[in-house]
Structure formats: structure tokens, C-alpha cells
């Protein structure tokens, strides 16, 4: 078994997704997530992410680390861009770099993307960390009424 597996979100137990999305530390990082995440929210979320795959041929994965659901993310379409998302349970926060490397390789080598973006809420103070990965500031983007700082990584 691989250390990190990418599987469809629909393969993950809803209770695990709900627990992740209702985690207080995770919630502080997700400005679009307001007022809790219910079973109905989970069904709508998984359906929406599955629809991205059906419409665009790519979308977010669930990340399973050593057999345990760790979070979700990957490359998903966002306003015409290939946007990198990463939402991990705090127990797995040290795994971000390994997941990013695998997603970056997918985006540039398998999907042949020329670039990918990442969106950070202005309240996030650690945007310098992603600059170490090669991302550069690329303006702002509004998503569902929230302003995000946009960063771009071009294919080497």
C-alpha cells in the first residue's frame, strides 16, 4: 500500500468528512465554511466535487494516509484555473509537502497544466510558506463573496 493514496471523496465515510469539516482548527482556515457542516452539507459537498470530475475530468481527491482519511484536495477547476486545494485534519498537517509534491506532479506531468493557482484568505499569515514551493503572488479572486489572495505556480 502507498503511504499516501488519492481516492474519490465518495469512497470516504461521511462521518469522517463531517468530523474534518467541523474541526475547530480546520474551520479557522476555511472562510467559506460558516455555521457548521451537517450530513446534508456533506452530501451536497461530495456531490458538487463529484460533478467537477464529471464536467471537467478532474477535481479534488480524498487523501488517505496509512489507511486513514486525512483530508481532501488536489487540483480543482476555479474560474477557469486549475486551483490547488488542501484541507487536512490537524493530525496530518505535517503531510502537506508530500501531498503537494504528488499533486504538482499530477498537474504538470499527467494533466499537462501550464500553471496552477492557490487561493489564501487574507487572514492567513503563512503565505510565505507557499512561496518556498515556487508560487508567486498573482492578484486577488472573489469566490462566493469572499476575497482571496491568489498565487500561481508555473510549470517548470
pLDDT digits (tens, 9 = 90+) for 95-104: 999 999 999 9
**SS3 state of residue 21:** helix
Residue 73 lies in a domain: yes
In a domain, 120, yes or no: no
Q: Which of 38-52, 62-76, 119-133 has the lowest mean pLDDT?
A: 119-133
User: Do 75 and 94 contact (CB within 8 A), yes or no?
Assistant: no
- Give the CATH number of the domain where residue 95 resides: 3.40.630.30
Query: Per the domain annotation, does 140 fall within a domain?
Result: no
Between CA 29 and CA 121 the distance in angstroms is: 8
pLDDT band at 12 (very low <50, low <70, confident <90, very high): very high
With CA atoms as reference, report the closest residue to 79 among 140, 18, 134: 140
| Overall number of domains in the chain | 1
Please tell me what DSSP assigns to residue 12: S
- With a cut of 90, say whether residue 84 has pLDDT above it: yes
Cα–Cα–Cα angle for 124, 127, 131, rounded to 5 degrees: 170
Domain membership of residue 121 (yes or no) is no
Give a yes or no: residue 128 inside a domain: no
Range of the domain at 105: 4-114
Say if pTM beats, i.e. exceeds, 0.75.
yes
21 pLDDT above the threshold of 80: yes
The pLDDT assigned to 144 comes to 82
Confidence bin at 36 (pLDDT 50/70/90): confident
Residue 91 maps to a domain: yes
Mean pLDDT over 96-121 rounds to: 94
* Interval 107-131 mean pLDDT: 87
Q: What's the pLDDT at 1?
A: 57
Count of alpha carbons within 13 angstroms of residue 91, beta-carbon side: 11
The count of residues in the chain is 156
Does the residue 124 lie in any domain?
no
Top pLDDT among 34 and 80 is at 80
Asked if the structure places residue 125 within a domain, the reply is: no
On the question of pLDDT at 147 being above 80, the answer is yes
CA 44 centroid distance within chain = 17
Amino acid at each position: 500500500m502507498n503511504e499516501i493514496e488519492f481516492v474519490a471523496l465518495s469512497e470516504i465515510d461521511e462521518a469522517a468528512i463531517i468530523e474534518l469539516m467541523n474541526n475547530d482548527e480546520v474551520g479557522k482556515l476555511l472562510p467559506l465554511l460558516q455555521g457548521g457542516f451537517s450530513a446534508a452539507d456533506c452530501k451536497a459537498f461530495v456531490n458538487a466535487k463529484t460533478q467537477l470530475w464529471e464536467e471537467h475530468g478532474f477535481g479534488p481527491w480524498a487523501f488517505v494516509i496509512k489507511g486513514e482519511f486525512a483530508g481532501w484536495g488536489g487540483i480543482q477547476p476555479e474560474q477557469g484555473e486549475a486551483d490547488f486545494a488542501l484541507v487536512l485534519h490537524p493530525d496530518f498537517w505535517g503531510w502537506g509537502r508530500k501531498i503537494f509534491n504528488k499533486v504538482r506532479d499530477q498537474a504538470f506531468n499527467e494533466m499537462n497544466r501550464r500553471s496552477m493557482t492557490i487561493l489564501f484568505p487574507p487572514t492567513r499569515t503563512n503565505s510565505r510558506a507557499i512561496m518556498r514551493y515556487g508560487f508567486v503572488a498573482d492578484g486577488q479572486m472573489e469566490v462566493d463573496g469572499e476575497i482571496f489572495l491568489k498565487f500561481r505556480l508555473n510549470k517548470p
